[in-house]
Amino acid sequence: MGQSRPEIIAWVSGHVLPHEKDVRAWLSRHGIAADQIDDVVQEAYCRIAALDSVSHIASGRSYLFRTAQNILLEQIRRARVVRIDTVAEIECLNIVDDEPSPERIAAGRLELKQVEKLILALPEKCRKIFVLRRIQGMSQRSIAAMLGVSENTVEAQAARGLRLILTAMTEQTSTRPNGIREFGAKVRIRHGN
Amino acid sequence: MQRCESATEIDDTAAVWAIRLEERQCDPDLASELDVWLAGDPRRSGALLRAQAALCFLQRGRALEGTEAFASPGPAAINRRKLIVGGGAAGLAAAAGIAGVSFIRRVPVVPSLHYATLMGEVLRVPLQDGTVATLNTATQIDVAFTGGLRAVSLIAGEALFEVAEDALPFVVSSGPVRFKTLRTTCSIRRRNAKSSILVTEGTVDAWVSKAGQAPVHLKAGNSALISDDGTHRVTTVDSAEINRQLAWRTGEIFLTGQTVEEAVEEFNRYSAHKILVANVALAHEKVVGRFRSDQPEAFANAVATTLQAGVVRDGNVIRLVRATLR
């Protein structure tokens, strides 16, 4: 049975997007170049966008990791000149399974704080518009009237803010994210109790 | 396929589309324009989904209104009440405009005495003293600020009171139970001849009217369950548990080891689709996870998948069943 687009968007928002940062960090640790990571991640979202329903997916996190892994494998196979060990290595990349770990739960609780931080970090003009629109709940038109600018300007600034926030949410940080372990023999996949 | 755009460039345009789609939902030209854009490159659909998901995530920003970081009427913030009262039509238009975007419905400040939510609704009510009451699902309150008292009665349901500091006492009645404060943030729920309260800021005195007992003094981090007959239990909860219990403000349910039975009871508060657990052992299993309170199906499916159960839908009833294990 198909799901509505808003349902899928809400699911991606809650179950996929929060894990993108980890997927990027994971790909990066395996020596994948930054622009290739961008492509892999974008392709992964394309595949999700093509789904009629996501209700069969038990874990957005695992799904994102596995999809990224598949895309990477396909790309490498298509590239013809491939170090034979690269494929083998990627095939056995150990994806940490996605029982909701205590860390993830804790991270979830921090989300409001995170939204606050993301918004406060925006450049001033952008932030002003973002606060009025997203926090105070004013309409684009009222904001334009209040600030004496065109609605297009408000819209453009909103898009810019969204873009900056998306980057801040998903870009890699130098610290290793929780819930991800290096692949290899030492790894134990986490399961629930 | 020719690659003329980088992933980053696509992401830039996708952000513009996500905003446009949200702002101009009713624009018929937009859909065809969007189709043209999407058809230009298969990667664009992914970028759009991602940008829309981020926008959806940012909807929780509405819950930040009035918080410390955004409270001061500095250059980046304006006073909400001024906006609605002083802004007149524009303020009302702003309030109406957000209805489609956020699930928090807002009402203008009027000296109305009765506020109510339907099942699944969350309503923010700014009161005349600057206090904000946020009503959870299926809740009714009466407000009467007269006779030197800021009096609110919680007739049914659950509400969060962010009580503005004032010399006049703020008193919430829940059946015969009274909660009195000068300044606090607390959530109070009335159910089955019992009242529960969670205090996250300030202090509250609680007692049962005419029971002749000394008031119970509650402070931030205290949670109390008070029966109409006067028996009570006070516990202390940590900030993680506080956030869990207040997750309804953003339309969410957090489970951190509650039983399936407890979780189902919670979900059933928010939706006409009721979950029934048809197996005792299953009802006692413990679950962990985050869900949207308006999506009981997602919860039922998650339980089915992780706890080897089946989901049987029957009209408005979602039945969780489990074959008897040998």
pLDDT band at A133 (very low <50, low <70, confident <90, very high): confident
Q: What is the pLDDT of residues B32-67, one digit of tens each?
A: 889 889 988 888 999 999 999 988 888 777 667 766
Judging contacts by C-beta atoms under 8 Å, the chain A residues touching residue B51 are: 162-163, 166
Residue B293 and residue B120 in contact, taking contact as beta carbons nearer than 8 Å: yes
Chain segment B78-88, per-residue pLDDT in tens: 333 333 333 33
A159:B19 CB<8 A? yes
Q: CB-based contacts of B160: which residues, under 8 Å, 6+ apart?
A: B133, B134, B136, B185, B186, B187, B246, B249
**A81 pLDDT more than 60:** no
- Cβ within 8 Å of residue A85, ≥6 positions away: none
pLDDT digits (tens, 9 = 90+) for B192-210: 999 999 999 999 999 998 7
- pLDDT 10s digits, A94-132: 554 444 454 554 554 446 677 788 888 899 889 999 888
User: What band does B219 get if pLDDT is binned at 50, 70 and 90?
Assistant: very high
The predicted-structure confidence for B148-168, as pLDDT tens digits, reads as follows: 788 999 999 999 999 998 888
Instruction: Identify the pLDDT of residue A172.
Output: 53
Calpha distance B302→B175 (Å, rounded): 37
CB contact under 8 A, A145 and B90: yes
pLDDT the model gives residue B107: 39
% pLDDT > 90, chain A:
16
In chain A, residues with a C-beta closer than 8 Å to the C-beta of B160 are none
The token pair that represents B254 in the structure block: 């957090």
Contact B65/B102 with Cβ under 8 angstroms? no
Which range (A106-110, A184-188, B294-298) has the least confidence?
A184-188
Residues of A in contact with B93 (CB under 8 A): 139, 141-142
Span B91-142, pLDDT tens digits: 333 433 333 333 444 433 334 478 889 899 999 888 888 899 999 999 999 9
> Residue B289 has what pLDDT?
82
More confident call, A191 vs A56: A56
Nearest one of A144, A61, A163, A121 to B55, comparing CA atoms: A163
Q: Cα(B300)–Cα(A153) distance, rounded to whole angstroms?
A: 44
Select from B56, B286, B306 the Cβ nearest to the Cβ of A9.
Answer: B56
Task: Residue B258: name the closest of B267, B250, B249 by CA.
Answer: B267
| Residue predicted with more confidence, B23 or B117 | B117
Strands B317-321 and B310-314: antiparallel
Q: Which of A87, A169, A80, A63 is nearest to B51 (CA)?
A: A169
User: How high is the pLDDT of residue A95?
Assistant: 54
H or E segment to which residue B90 belongs: helix B88-97
pLDDT of residue B77: 36
Kindly provide the b/e burial profile for residues A16-28, where b requires at least 16 CB atoms within 10 angstroms of the residue's own CB.
Answer: bbbbbbbbbbbbe
Say what the ipTM of the complex is.
0.77
H or E element at residue A55? none
Question: Token pair 């093509």 is at which residue?
Answer: A50
Instruction: Of A36-45, A71-80, B56-65, give the range with the top mean pLDDT.
Output: A36-45
Instruction: Give residue B6's pLDDT band: very low, low, confident or very high (50, 70, 90).
Output: confident
> Between B49, B64, B90, which is nearest A116 by CB?
B64
Q: How far is CA B181 from the centre of its chain?
A: 23
Q: What pLDDT shows up at residue B96?
A: 37
Of B19, B77, B102, the CB nearest to A131: B77
CA dist., res. A188 & res. B50, Å (int): 31
Give the nearest chain A residue to B8 (CA atoms): A38
Q: Span A83-95, mean pLDDT?
A: 55
Token pair 């043209």 is found at B36
Segment A144-149 shows an average pLDDT of 89
Contact B203, B218 (CB under 8 A): yes
pLDDT tens across B231-285, in order? 999 999 998 899 899 999 988 998 888 899 999 999 999 998 999 998 888 999 8
B93–A9 C-beta distance less than 8 A: no
> In this predicted structure, what is the pLDDT of residue B209?
85
Determine the pLDDT at residue B103.
Answer: 40
CB B240 within 8 A of CB B280: no
Q: At residue B191, what is the residue type?
A: R
Hey, are the CB atoms on B98 and A14 less than 8 Å from each other?
Answer: no
First to last CA, chain B: 57
Which of A13, A41, A111 minimises the CB distance to B56? A13
Q: Are A151 and A129 in contact (CB under 8 A)?
A: no
Contact predicate B116/B139, CB 8 Å = yes
CA distances from B50 to A102, A106, A170, B222 (A): 26, 23, 11, 40
At B130, give phi and psi (nearest 5°).
Answer: 95, -10
